[in-house]
A and B are shown apart, each in its own frame.
Chain A
Amino acid sequence: MSAPTYDLGTLHGGLRLPARKSVSTRQPIVAMPVPAQLVLPITQHVGDPAEPIVGIGERVLKGQLIADTNSALGAPVHASSSGKVIAIEPWPVVRRFGENAPCIVVECDGRDESVQRADTAADFTTLAAEDLLGKILHGGIVGLGGAVFPTAQKLMQARTCEIDHLILNGVECESYISCDDLLMREHAEEIISGAQILMHALQIDRCFIAVESDKPEAVGKLAEVLGKINDDRIILKKVPTIYPSGGEDQLVQLVTNREVPSAGLPSDVGCLVQNVGTTAAIHDWVINNEPLISRVTTVTGDGVASPVNVRARIGTPIGEIIEMAGGYTDRAEQLIIGGPMTGKSITTDRVPLVKSTNCVLVSSKTPSPGPALPCIRCGDCASVCPVQLLPQQLFWYACADDEAKLRDFGLIDCIECGCCDLVCPSRIPLTADFRVAKGRIRELADEKARAARARQRFEARNDRLEREQARRESELAQQKAAAKKAGPTAIAEILKRRKPKNEDDE
């Protein structure tokens, strides 16, 4: 059975990247054994860190809550296996800024004992939408596509808008990455069940599952399961294999032909996008009571001996995952977490696997593009920009540090997909330059806000001083008036009282 392709919207530009996925899709997902030590960062999502609620030396069980949060932008963390907390300390992690972040280090006892849960899984259709959201909130579930936004918050935000479409993102448009592909092939039921839970929680009755056309096995499996469960609210959509069609806003545009407004969210145009891995995790938590303690990740690149997809516990050191893929080869020269277009290069394999780690890419060094030449304004960058920006003009204004023009030409709408870098004949690192320019714009905005606050304070102080001055003057005027009323004798008396003082002065 093949999936029908329904009318799709259009996406501007994009690139056909070398897929390089087949190296890691030859064998099914390999379950990774529990490592000797787990390193669990207390921040694995976008937002506020969770607070550790266990102490050093304490024994924890698999699935036990070890860091909790009551922040509006937080996600709890659970122990991925049973063992003893041996440290809560800074540890190297994958982050854009800085190297280390606080982590809870658990020494596993190898028994992998699960925590006993009081609440047995109920039929989710009998639960009220609020209760279902509350349940999801406690599962530590975050967006597994890479953005790692806490899922419960995303759902609650979506509930405040009029949502009519749930879109499952199974596009996975970056080169090398195949974890969602394999998940769809092997766990289509769970993914679709998770979608049904979300539709119930949000009270919507339309779901699109978007999968790239280069994943026929996944499409076939999803179509098969959909045919079996006969849920006509869910529609499978095959989308063209073009990077970056899996970007959230790009997918909304592709599937529904709606443009997510600048600085807005898909919910502004009635859409909620969830990664297929996220809905599978929702299924595991809501139906099977298993919080998010493991994920599928692709270990690939010419720097590992046998690329493979593994299901590993959150907190497993990357180095051990690479061992699962046969270890390093001679060509291992760079270690990238994520795909080759938007991934982050890291310096050490001591960093742990976290909820967002969809790919561990070990590769030979990218050939140096050589020194950047001047921009010749060929416009190839503009023709591939999925947001239809003019990178050649943005680059010009970024060099000139012209903040107004940068805003005018939509720098903040840049999704940093990297397409422009790949087609630039002058080899200008545009995306990196735009990242810096964005940072500077944010700084300038902060500075402006600070200056505005300082000015407000200054003006308030001036006002206060003026008011005091006025009050003093009016009091003086009142005293004078009172003295005048009292008559010349009173004045003479006052003067007499002040006279000795005057004489002293002279």
Chain B
Amino acid sequence: MEFRRREAPFLAPEVSVSSLMLQVLAALVPAAMAHVWFFGPGFILNLLIAAVFSVAGEALMLSLRGRKPETGLADYSVLVTAALLAFALPSLTPWWVTATGALFAVIVAKHLYGGLGYNIFNPAMAGYVVILVAFPMHVNLWVAPRMGDLDYQHLSILQTLYFTLTGSLADGITFDAISRATPLDVMKSGLNNARTAAEIRSIPIMGDFGGRGWEWIGNFLAFGGFWLLIRKIIRWQIPVGVGLGLLVPATIMYMADAGSHASPGFHLFSGATILCAFFIATDPVSAATSPKGRFVYGLGIGLLIYCIRRWGSYADGVAFAVLLMNMSVPAIDYLTRPHIVGHQRRSNRGEADG
């Protein structure tokens, strides 16, 4: 009998990029539902707009680069980018703001660097930073979270759609009635105005740890993140690194002077910390690649988030921290190579080789 010749190994891999990306998307679902519950239907509109524009951008770039759009789109990575961008934006965002971010993320940050696998910068964060710089007034417009004892004016889906399409509110609604400063903003401006952290914490919007609504979204994100960890879609090094990088300085500063520093719990649960630790920083393409390197990468992100929040002029620093550490990846990867079995242990560096 005659047979065809093939190359070993003859067992087929079970994982695929598309299944990884779909699982990341699945892990975001509970937090997305919480987002809609607390901040209204705007999240869904943002997600749809981000998805439409990033998929269109991806298809355009793939065909311009002479690739088959259907194979490129089938890996679903572009939807993860769109979802992360939607999570970073307030629920009230005009469509052109979201579109600008999505198109920049996919066209510039992803495809101009060579597409999936070759981008140096996290596309979602690059897109978000462009929005931050180009439309600063829109990223701070958060509606008040839905909480029983908070006065808030609920926006219907039509009113939200009206704002998303036009960028202005429907008649009879004012920004003052619906929007609130985010807990991170409150904390930052409060501390700048020489109020104590404890005073600021007593404002109802601050919630138990990191702000009403936000902390619950954080819980659901952490839930999804742990699920990804258990499924080994992500590894522990980056989330733990981000957590330690942020919490260690936060704890030290809080213990040194609790009056003028926010608590570590606040840092952990407010803003995009948990989203970053489990979903943004863990983007494998733009992260460091060796196990030790990923821990260092995570630590760097956490530390930078703390520095930007504490001393920077922005309330949150996740996007900048991630992009800055993206730049450091080649150096981190070079310096944290694991010990190759059978090679002389490199003793010129003070690391304990595992």
List residues of A whose CB falls within 8 A of some B CB: 12, 17-18, 175, 249, 253, 259-262, 264, 319, 328, 332-336, 338, 340-349, 361, 363, 366-369, 371, 373-380, 382-383, 386-390, 392-393, 409-410, 413, 418, 421-427, 429, 431-432
- Scoring B7, B10, B294 by chain A CB atoms within 10 A of each residue's CB, the highest score goes to B10
CB-CB under 8 A from B15, the residues of chain A are 380, 423-425
Q: Contact: A387 with B4, CB < 8 Å?
A: no
- Is B16's beta carbon under 8 Å from chain A? yes
CB-CB under 8 A from B5, the residues of chain A are 345-347
Which residues in window 33-81 of B have CB below 8 A to A? 71, 75, 77
List residues of B whose CB falls within 8 A of some A CB: 1-17, 19-20, 71, 75, 77, 115-118, 232, 235, 284-285, 287, 289-291, 294, 333, 337-343
Bound form: Cα–Cα A421–B13 in Å = 7
- A383 in contact with B3 given A409-B337, A410-B340 (CB within 8 Å): no
A342 touches which one: B8, B12, B13, B289 (CB < 8 A)?
B8
A434 CB to closest chain B CB (Å) equals: 11
Q: Name B117's closest neighbour in chain A (CB-CB).
A: A374
CB-CB under 8 A from B232, the residues of chain A are 380
CB-CB under 8 A from B4, the residues of chain A are 334, 345, 347
Bound form: Cα–Cα A88–B294 in Å = 60
Q: Contact: B341 with A386, CB < 8 Å?
A: yes
- Scoring A328, A388, A389 by chain B CB atoms within 10 A of each residue's CB, the highest score goes to A388
Q: Name B14's closest neighbour in chain A (CB-CB).
A: A422
Q: Contact: A369 with B340, CB < 8 Å?
A: no
Q: Contact: B8 with A260, CB < 8 Å?
A: no
Q: Name A261's closest neighbour in chain B (CB-CB).
A: B342
CB-CB under 8 A from A432, the residues of chain B are 7-8
Q: Contact: B3 with A347, CB < 8 Å?
A: yes
Q: Contact: A427 with B13, CB < 8 Å?
A: yes
- A388 in contact with B12 given A393-B289, A426-B17 (CB within 8 Å): no
Q: Contact: A376 with B13, CB < 8 Å?
A: no
A247 CB to closest chain B CB (Å) equals: 11
Bound form: Cα–Cα A345–B290 in Å = 33
B253 CB to closest chain A CB (Å) equals: 33
Secondary structure type dominating chain B contacts: loop
Bound form: Cα–Cα A249–B340 in Å = 13
Q: Contact: A253 with B341, CB < 8 Å?
A: yes
CB-CB under 8 A from A319, the residues of chain B are 1
- Sort A-B residue pairs by CB-CB distance and give the 3 closest, nearest first: A374-B117, A418-B9, A340-B10
CB-CB under 8 A from A338, the residues of chain B are 8
Q: Contact: A328 with B1, CB < 8 Å?
A: yes
Q: Contact: B342 with A345, CB < 8 Å?
A: no
Q: Contact: A340 with B9, CB < 8 Å?
A: yes
Q: Contact: B2 with A429, CB < 8 Å?
A: no
A425 touches which one: B17, B235, B333 (CB < 8 A)?
B17
CB-CB under 8 A from B6, the residues of chain A are 334, 345, 366
Q: Contact: A388 with B340, CB < 8 Å?
A: yes
CB-CB under 8 A from A262, the residues of chain B are 340, 342-343
CB-CB under 8 A from B17, the residues of chain A are 373, 376, 425-426
CB-CB under 8 A from B289, the residues of chain A are 377, 379, 382, 390, 392-393
Q: Contact: B287 with A377, CB < 8 Å?
A: yes
Q: Contact: A379 with B116, CB < 8 Å?
A: no
- Scoring A367, A423, A425 by chain B CB atoms within 10 A of each residue's CB, the highest score goes to A425
Q: Contact: A341 with B8, CB < 8 Å?
A: yes
Question: What would 23 A/B residue contacts be, using CB atoms closer than 8 Å?
Answer: A259-B341, A259-B342, A332-B1, A340-B11, A343-B8, A346-B5, A363-B10, A366-B11, A369-B12, A373-B17, A373-B71, A373-B116, A374-B116, A379-B289, A382-B290, A382-B338, A387-B340, A390-B338, A410-B340, A413-B342, A422-B9, A423-B13, A426-B117
Q: Contact: B342 with A379, CB < 8 Å?
A: no
A257 CB to closest chain B CB (Å) equals: 12
CB-CB under 8 A from B9, the residues of chain A are 340-342, 418, 421-422, 431
CB-CB under 8 A from A387, the residues of chain B are 340-342
CB-CB under 8 A from A426, the residues of chain B are 16-17, 117
Q: Contact: A425 with B19, CB < 8 Å?
A: yes
- Known: A366-B12, A371-B71, A392-B289; 18 extra A-B contacts, CB below 8 A, are A259-B341, A262-B343, A336-B10, A338-B8, A343-B8, A343-B10, A345-B6, A345-B8, A347-B2, A348-B2, A376-B77, A376-B285, A379-B284, A379-B289, A379-B294, A426-B117, A427-B13, A432-B7
Q: Name B237's closest neighbour in chain A (CB-CB).
A: A379
Q: Name B115's closest neighbour in chain A (CB-CB).
A: A374
B263 CB to closest chain A CB (Å) equals: 34
Bound form: Cα–Cα A422–B291 in Å = 19
Q: Contact: B338 with A345, CB < 8 Å?
A: no
Bound form: Cα–Cα A109–B71 in Å = 61
CB-CB under 8 A from A335, the residues of chain B are 1, 3
A6 CB to closest chain B CB (Å) equals: 21
Q: Contact: A383 with B235, CB < 8 Å?
A: yes
B8 touches which one: A18, A393, A418 (CB < 8 A)?
A418
- A429 in contact with B291 given A373-B75, A376-B285, A377-B117 (CB within 8 Å): no
Q: Name A386's closest neighbour in chain B (CB-CB).
A: B341
Q: Contact: B341 with A348, CB < 8 Å?
A: no
Bound form: Cα–Cα A332–B1 in Å = 10
CB-CB under 8 A from B71, the residues of chain A are 371, 373
B20 CB to closest chain A CB (Å) equals: 5
CB-CB under 8 A from A340, the residues of chain B are 8-11
Bound form: Cα–Cα A361–B77 in Å = 38
Q: Name A408's closest neighbour in chain B (CB-CB).
A: B337
A376 touches which one: B7, B117, B290, B340 (CB < 8 A)?
B117
Bound form: Cα–Cα A361–B8 in Å = 12
CB-CB under 8 A from B2, the residues of chain A are 347-348
Q: Name B342's closest neighbour in chain A (CB-CB).
A: A262
Q: Contact: B339 with A388, CB < 8 Å?
A: yes
B291 CB to closest chain A CB (Å) equals: 7
Q: Name B11's closest neighbour in chain A (CB-CB).
A: A340
Q: Contact: A17 with B3, CB < 8 Å?
A: no
A377 touches which one: B14, B115, B284 (CB < 8 A)?
B284
CB-CB under 8 A from A371, the residues of chain B are 71
CB-CB under 8 A from A388, the residues of chain B are 338-341
CB-CB under 8 A from B342, the residues of chain A are 249, 259-262, 264, 387, 413
Bound form: Cα–Cα A342–B8 in Å = 6
CB-CB under 8 A from A333, the residues of chain B are 3
Bound form: Cα–Cα A260–B342 in Å = 5
- A413 in contact with B341 given A374-B116, A382-B290 (CB within 8 Å): yes
B199 CB to closest chain A CB (Å) equals: 45
Q: Name B118's closest neighbour in chain A (CB-CB).
A: A374
Q: Contact: B291 with A382, CB < 8 Å?
A: yes
Bound form: Cα–Cα A431–B232 in Å = 23
Q: Contact: B11 with A175, CB < 8 Å?
A: yes
Bound form: Cα–Cα A421–B15 in Å = 11
CB-CB under 8 A from B7, the residues of chain A are 345, 429, 431-432
A345 touches which one: B1, B10, B19, B294 (CB < 8 A)?
B10
- A383 in contact with B16 given A373-B75, A374-B117, A431-B8 (CB within 8 Å): no
